[in-house]
Structure 1
Amino acid sequence: MRLVKMTQEEFDVIKGRMIRDYAQDKIKVGHWQEGDAIDLAKETLDNILKDGVETKHHYLLDICKDIDKVGFVWFNLFNDTIYVNNYLIYDEYKGKDYEINMVELLEEMAENLDAKKVNLHSFGYNEGAIALYRKMGYDITDVYMSKKMGV
């Protein structure tokens, strides 16, 4: 497997899915209301990735196996740390260890970029991802908890 820089055209196609998925995650954890979520997700993504695939210190990469694109990953490099903002293994490739391979490729890339650490994020409901990251040697560094009141 390998990570390949995404073209602007590919990003333009993926961007809609990134916005939709981020909005759904934020709704699911109770941070945003359904009516506002798409606009807020789009605004967030547009603010962060002002220059698309050419945004400084941000990497938008296709995850490739042979000639197939099995997913994508977006991370940024800040203060010697890689922060994984988003990734997706496409449905037809799930369950084939591509997620593990992608994390291993990110770790290799971290070494090439002289990064000292890789930070992965998961929403709390995604217990499978959290278990995978822990199995790969990642420690939980922050936990946010919430409780709805008056419901």
Structure 2
Amino acid sequence: MIKAMAFHIYQQNLDVVSRALMAGDLSEMMRHIAIPNMMSTHDTEIVMSSPEELDIVMSDFRAQLLARGVETYTRTCLEADFVAERGDMIAGSHRTVMTGRHGDAITPYLNHSVLMQIDGQWKGIWLQAIMDNTELEILSPDIAAAQAEARRVLDRIRR
């Protein structure tokens, strides 16, 4: 019963954010994605620390999808459960499928994500797409490059 509730909450978040992304509705996304927020792929990671950064990343991603002919963006929960001893946190995995006029516009891929209940609202706090960012540019290349350079500077300072 509790696992089914986690599954439902996770899927509901996926559906709302997917619709908001395709509609370009940042305010709706902001109700379901926490700031700061971390997103990663095999080769890139970024932290969005402001609504403005979220807007840039999501706008870039949406533009990438539209340029590739994506008409539907569907994310389906595969599994989800509450994190042990944390009734305010859900971890799960889902599959992303994007279709265009002639079938899959982009090869479907898997993701892992964590939601947290913040002020009574379930929000995504972390997402990992199981792919390389170079395959789809899920994460804005400019922001990702700037944050990677900042990490390199910090690594040099620590040595």
Question: TM-score with structure 1 length normalisation?
Answer: 0.31
Higher strand share: 2
Higher relative contact order at CA 8 Å, sep ≥6: structure 1 or structure 2? Answer: 2
Question: TM-score with structure 2 length normalisation?
Answer: 0.30
